[in-house]
Structure 1
Amino acid sequence: MSSPLLELQLKPTHKPYEVRRAWRSLIEKFSHGSHKKQQRDEPIILFQRNVFFPQHLEEKIKDQRILELLYEEARRNILEGRYPCEVGHYIMLGGIQARIELGPYNSQVHSTHYFREEQRKYLPVHVRKSSTWTWLPISSKNSAEVRLLEQFKRIPTSATNRKLMRKYLEFCWSLPFYGSAFFEGQVEQPVRGLTSLITHQDIPVLIAINSKGVYVIDDIECTVLLGLRYEELSWDYARPSKEDDLNCFPCIFLQFIVVENGTRVSKILQIFSRQASLMDTLISGFVQQLKEKSSEETDRSYLNHLTGEGDNNHVSLAHGNVPHSSAALPTLTNKLSRLTLATFDEDGHCIGQMGSWSFSY
């Protein structure tokens, strides 16, 4: 059940009618929307990928009807900027989508002008040509509409929609945040200088959570600010300090290890969100799955060791919401300079604080 203010994945035990009856109280509790938006909010029921469904099984699906549903969901997330990627990738995906919807290239119809007028159908807003300049009769060779047309023309006339949808999905499957559930939140932006201190505001972000990890996304600029696999993070959930104050949000803390100036230090990001409890529940579910899988693999490895079969190279992963110093180092390119973080040494002493962080030792 989904609306612009809240998205809830229904469980088999949920009764949609009852959820709809309770919707007003749900958005009052979990939504960041204004009172006016809450009053106008109207949810819909839609088919959507189960966030717990294993991706390796999804990639084996042959049923075209299911693949079409998965394609439609992936296309929506691409066009809404929920799946950040390079501009060239957006152009490539837009060309595939255009070919699926328009059929083979027709020089009498599919011109640069056509794609300049229709690019909103195929590209997210941050990739499109500015609407301020759409009145110009010409396009530069590097403009979005020219590149989109070139990509569209390159697709062979023999390509079937089935193969094209599969190609589209194969690219999306390669994205680490594919198949995520999305939550609204906000983080503090770093204060730099007196002017920044005066105009200081929190940055609205999307938090994407799937079976692989947690990703903090600036969906306006369509970029990943922080991406962490579960092996790389520890987390905790905190209730608001003033539960009667509607402007005092609960939060999720994410802790991870980085190397600064040759020294391992621990960073903590605080994410404020009315949906923090939902995020905590989902993260806990995925971590529990990983614990069970790790335990099964450890038992299997131990059995192989006793029987002399296989190898014994398995290293069990530590998971939980208690910070641990043995976490693996993040491998994704994170934009830490754009986040307000607290820094701790390996002994747990705070050696750096920013924004509203205040620790005394």
Structure 2
Amino acid sequence: MEGDECGRFPPEPSEGNSQRGSVASSVTRAQDVLVYLVCDSAVHLCMEGVGCVSVQELGRSVREALHIPDTAMDAFAFWLCSPLLELQLKPKHQPYKLCRQWQDLLYRFTDASEEDISQDEPCLQYRRNVFYPRCKELQIEDEGVLKLLYDEARANILAGRFPCDPDTWTALGALSLALELGVGLDNQKAMAALREKKLFSFLPSHVLAGSGGLFSTLRGKSGRQAGLELSLLEEYHKISISDSSPPQPTHLLHQYLNTCHALPYYGCAFFGGD
């Protein structure tokens, strides 16, 4: 990924024989920091004393930038994430210092090879707090907060981290389609928009890879894709006619999250394994 080392924090100035993990040489002038969101966008901050900034201090700046109300401040946390490890940070932690100690953490918490560890690099993410109760999510009405939670849930569905049955991933894909296109499109316009945006924006990757077993064998790739498109559009039109008035985005976001809440692994932390 683009940006500086150590989770998009600026690197320390070169001062020969400096020890990894030391932040004594961190400059105190204002520097740029990128905090990534699950949707691959980022919050760009300019902060002083980056080497000593705590999660608690960083959180205030990120919440202000994202317009997150105080009532939902506990819904999110900072994470250091890489292909080898994902760690949720505590309020007292100093992300920059932990970035400098990343290889030590990998040796401690993973069984990765020395070569993989030497090449691994974390980024700083702002995403759902694993300790945040699902029941409190149901009380959130702020559309921006719901959108952040939705983006993360959707990413986990599409990546296959939240395995579910065809009825569930079709219903979730239709909700994503409604959120992107609005509701009430006729079949021709909806199909054209769906094909423009591509199925992988709405359905899990393993489904599109042809893991449908007998279904994929009998119908072939093109037939499978056509069947998935028709199923998705059928579910989309159910959303459109389910209410006398078109559903508001917050209603669709709640519906998506509520469906995910029924999955036993929603809100969990994940650890790689062989």
TM-score under structure 1 length normalisation: 0.45
Aligned to 2:200: 120
Aligned to 2:84: 5
1:302-348 Cα deviation digits (max 9, x unpaired): xxxxxxxxxxxxxxxxxxxxxxxxxxxxxxxxxxxxxxxxxxxxxxx
1:182-203 Cα deviation digits (max 9, x unpaired): 1123xxxxxxxxxxxxxxxxxx
- Determine which of 238, 257, 265 is the counterpart of 1:154: 238
Matched, 1:110 2:182: no
Give me the whole-angstrom Cα distance separating, in 1, the residues matched to 2:194 and 2:137: 35
Matched, 1:55 2:134: yes
Kindly state the Cα deviation for residue 17 of structure 1 after the two structures are TM-superposed.
Answer: 0.4
Matched, 1:44 2:123: yes
**CA spacing shift, 1:80–1:140, aligned 2, 3 Å:** closer
Give me the whole-angstrom Cα distance separating, in 2, the residues matched to 1:42 and 1:34: 14
SS state at 2:132 partner: coil
SS state at 2:125 partner: coil
Percent identity of paired positions between Structure 1 and Structure 2? 39
**CA spacing shift, 1:35–1:11, aligned 2, 3 Å:** same
Amino acid of the residue matched to residue 150 of structure 1? E
- Determine which of 78, 81, 93 is the counterpart of 2:160: 81
Asked if structure 2 preserves the Cα contact closer than 8 Å seen for 1:112 and 1:146, the reply is no
Asked if structure 2 preserves the Cα contact closer than 8 Å seen for 1:92 and 1:148, the reply is yes
Amino acid of the residue matched to residue 190 of structure 2? H
Give me the whole-angstrom Cα distance separating, in 2, the residues matched to 1:125 and 1:168: 18
Amino acid of the residue matched to residue 136 of structure 2? L
Question: What is the 5 A alignment of 1:303-314?
Answer: none
Amino acid of the residue matched to residue 144 of structure 1? L
Residue ranges of structure 1 left out of the alignment (5+ in a row) = 186-203, 205-361
- Which structure is higher in strand share? 1
- Which structure is higher in helix share? 2
Give me the whole-angstrom Cα distance separating, in 1, the residues matched to 2:221 and 2:90: 52
SS state at 1:123 partner: coil
TM-score under structure 2 length normalisation: 0.58
**CA spacing shift, 1:46–1:3, aligned 2, 3 Å:** same
1:60-99 Cα deviation digits (max 9, x unpaired): 2222222111111111111122222211100110111111
Amino acid of the residue matched to residue 248 of structure 2? T
Asked if structure 1 preserves the Cα contact closer than 8 Å seen for 2:162 and 2:265, the reply is yes
Asked if structure 2 preserves the Cα contact closer than 8 Å seen for 1:100 and 1:161, the reply is yes
**CA spacing shift, 1:91–1:35, aligned 2, 3 Å:** farther
Matched, 1:14 2:102: no
Larger radius of gyration: 1
Asked if structure 1 preserves the Cα contact closer than 8 Å seen for 2:143 and 2:249, the reply is no
With a CA cutoff of 8 Å and minimum separation of 6, indicate the structure with the bigger relative contact order: 2
Give me the whole-angstrom Cα distance separating, in 1, the residues matched to 2:209 and 2:196: 8
Kindly state the Cα deviation for residue 39 of structure 1 after the two structures are TM-superposed.
Answer: 3.5
Aligned to 1:176: 264
**CA spacing shift, 1:66–1:140, aligned 2, 3 Å:** closer
Amino acid of the residue matched to residue 174 of structure 1? A
Kindly state the Cα deviation for residue 146 of structure 1 after the two structures are TM-superposed.
Answer: 2.0
Question: What is the 5 A alignment of 1:19-38?
Answer: 19-38=98-117
Aligned to 1:95: 174
What is the aligned length? Answer: 184
Kindly state the Cα deviation for residue 108 of structure 1 after the two structures are TM-superposed.
Answer: 4.6
Residue ranges of structure 2 left out of the alignment (5+ in a row) = 1-79
Asked if structure 2 preserves the Cα contact closer than 8 Å seen for 1:78 and 1:84, the reply is yes
